[in-house]
Amino acid sequence: MIAIIDYGAGNIKSLQFALDKLNKESVLTTDPQVIRDSDSIILPGVGAFKDAMDAINDLGLAGVLKQEAAAGKPILGICLGMQLFYERSYEDGDWEGLGLLKGNVRKIKDTVKVPHMGWNTITKNKENPLMNDLPDDVYVYFVHSYAVGSLEEDSLVGSTQYGGVVPAIVQQGNITGMQFHPEKSGDIGIKLLKNYGEMIS
Amino acid sequence: MLAKRIVPCLDVDKGRVVKGKKFQNIRDVADPVELAKRYNEAGADELVFYDITASNEERDIFLDVVENVAKEIAIPFTVGGGIRTVEDIHKVLRSGADKVSINSAAVDNPQLITDSALKFGSQCIVLSIDAKEVAPKRWNVFTRGGRNDTGIDAIEWAKKGEQLGAGEIVINAMDSDGEKDGYNLPLTKIIADTVNIPVVASGGAGTREHFSAVLKEGADAALAASVFHYDEINIMELKKYLQEEDIIVRRENEWK
């Protein structure tokens, strides 16, 4: 069972539908016990960094997520969910994240239109089973105004170009992040989720 | 490189897709879920659904449509029509929509843009502007399905919408809507040069050259309805043509 952390607003349904297509059982939850009992965790997310962290803290889930991460349970963060893994975000202030990965989150340079919205290509930064059977430069759907920086170079699996390098897929041990929305990236996105599922099973 | 987007738009009335010419003489075309699937397979980058009647009872039918579309297709889509409150926005997002398009309600209550952007994020708040040329190079914002001239300058409104927190602007040129004579290039260009958020051109698509022209003028996406519904333009062929025109488009179908 996959525990999808339901900490607030946004379109989580599409993610569930995508997992349904892959015959992956999932549950929307904020219950620490359900999260502990799950096989893997997905931290979705749209919206503001601070609101999301506040919600996670108010629900008492920050500790649970950190413990499960430390215990080695696979955790996938999508979009804002990936950004929450990092130490800090400078989105309208300076906020502390979950600190599961080293790095921070900053606004995309306004030399390009912000938000970064639409289909952009992923360039492989290193070989990784997540990219199995996928050619270089596949298109996936991005919607975000902030991006991860100062990350550990070795964790970068794939990136895109938008006002500079934008980390698109990161992975360190059991922690995986996707800045784009695999559940909204057509067949490529479904394939990425499938690869992820095979990788952690 | 970020691709330019091709966006079919579907007007939905009581759960069915219709397409009007200049917002009148509306005629039934097809089942929204079937059309959505067809467009997805043809390579549409996004979809837009407008609930064109939106009485309270019909609202629930529409939310079912939204959910069924989300179930069937894995590309982003926007929902508009009859959105008046933060709670309305919450409902469509929870049903599986990715973005919400606000039109008249934003003019009546600009704070709605800010409140919803803060709650759900700018990326899902689309400001839709119906604009009509009322004097040479002067476009006013119209509301109530194009019946009411607000007297507001469309370019100023786009700028203000961005400041209020909108993450994208759809500029619908009423003069060209349904005429198939091409998008309004001057208006689209001014808006695209003025704001630093994505701009979607709408109204007037008739040929593939029209798409090429407006995307070269600075639009990030081009929206159209009837040329796709009636199969006058095939999306896959359109994208092939645009690529030959050196416009960056996503051609995922070649992967399989």
Please, what are the domains in chain A?
Answer: 2-200 (3.40.50.880)
CA distance B24 to chain A (A): 32
CB environment A83-93: b (16+ within 10 A), e (fewer): bbbbebbebee
**List of residues 6+ apart from B22 with CB closer than 8 A:** B146, B174, B177, B178, B179
* Mean pLDDT, residues B54-68 taken together: 81
- How many angstroms separate the CA atoms of A162 and B203, rounded? 29
Locate B221 and state its tokens: 């996406």
Q: What is the pLDDT of residue B230?
A: 82
Q: What is the pLDDT of residue B24?
A: 45
Say if the Cβ atoms of A11 and B123 lie within 8 Å.
no
Single-letter code of the amino acid located at B165: G
- Of the candidates B240, B158, B235, the one whose C-alpha atom is nearest the C-alpha of residue B200 is B158
pLDDT band at B57 (very low <50, low <70, confident <90, very high): low
Judge whether B196 is closer than 8 Å to chain A, CB to CB: yes
- Of the candidates B85, B255, B5, B41, the one whose C-alpha atom is nearest the C-alpha of residue A143 is B5
* Mean pLDDT, residues B195-205 taken together: 97
Q: What is the pLDDT of residue B15?
A: 86
Domain B5-254 superfamily per CATH? Aldolase class I (3.20.20.70)
CB pairs under 8 A between A and B: 121
Q: What is the pLDDT of residue A127?
A: 94
DSSP type of residue A110: T
- How many angstroms separate the CA atoms of B97 and B100, rounded? 7
Provide the angle, in degrees to the nearest 10, between the axes of the packed helices B86-94 and B56-72.
40
Q: What is the pLDDT of residue B23?
A: 43
Of the candidates B4, B93, B167, the beta carbon closest to that of A115 is on: B167
Cα atoms in the Cβ-side hemisphere of radius 13 Å centred on B99: 30
Q: What is the pLDDT of residue B25?
A: 47
User: Are the C-beta atoms of residues B31 and B38 closer than 8 Å to each other?
Assistant: no
Locate B174 and state its tokens: 């009423």
Highest mean pLDDT among A74-88, B29-43, B228-242: A74-88
- What percentage of chain B reaches a pLDDT higher than 90? 70
pLDDT at B54 over 90: no
Judge whether B115 is closer than 8 Å to chain A, CB to CB: no
Could you tell me which chain A residue has the CA closest to the CA of B94? Answer: A11
Could you tell me which chain B residue has the CA closest to the CA of A111? Answer: B196
User: Are the C-beta atoms of residues B253 and A119 closer than 8 Å to each other?
Assistant: no
**List of residues 6+ apart from B6 with CB closer than 8 A:** B43, B44, B45, B211, B221, B222, B224, B235, B238, B239, B242, B249
Is residue A79 annotated as a catalytic residue, yes or no?
Answer: yes
* Mean pLDDT, residues B183-201 taken together: 98
* Mean pLDDT, residues B73-87 taken together: 93
- How many angstroms separate the CA atoms of B54 and B61, rounded? 9
pLDDT at B169 over 90: yes
* Cβ under 8 Å to A: B residues 212-251: 220-221, 250
Question: What's the mean pLDDT when you consider all of chain B?
Answer: 90
Q: What is the pLDDT of residue B16?
A: 85
- How many angstroms separate the CA atoms of B118 and B37, rounded? 32
Provide the angle, in degrees to the nearest 10, between the axes of the packed helices B208-216 and B235-244.
50
User: Are the C-beta atoms of residues A142 and A120 closer than 8 Å to each other?
Assistant: yes
CA dihedral B14, B20, B26, B31 (to 10 degrees): -40
Tell me the pLDDT of chain A (201 aa) as tens digits. Answer: 999 999 875 678 899 999 999 999 999 999 999 999 999 999 998 778 998 999 999 999 999 999 999 999 999 999 999 999 999 999 989 999 999 999 999 999 989 999 999 999 999 999 999 999 998 899 999 999 999 999 999 999 999 999 999 999 999 999 999 999 999 999 999 999 999 999 998
pLDDT band at B19 (very low <50, low <70, confident <90, very high): low
CA distances from A90 to A20, A87, A93, B191 (A): 35, 10, 5, 29
Hey, where are the domains in chain B?
5-254
Could you tell me which chain A residue has the CA closest to the CA of B92? Answer: A11
Say if the Cβ atoms of B75 and A9 lie within 8 Å.
no
Q: pLDDT tens digits, residue range B101-146? A: 999 999 999 999 999 998 888 889 999 999 999 999 999 999 988 8
DSSP type of residue B177: T
Say if the Cβ atoms of A138 and B98 lie within 8 Å.
no
Q: Bridge-partner residues for B78, per DSSP?
A: B48, B99
Q: What is the pLDDT of residue A36?
A: 98
User: Are the C-beta atoms of residues B99 and B79 closer than 8 Å to each other?
Assistant: yes
Locate B248 and state its tokens: 């960056």
Pairing relationship of beta strands A138-144 and A116-124 according to DSSP bridges:
antiparallel
Q: Which residue has the higher pLDDT, A83 or B255?
A: A83
Q: What is the pLDDT of residue B254?
A: 52
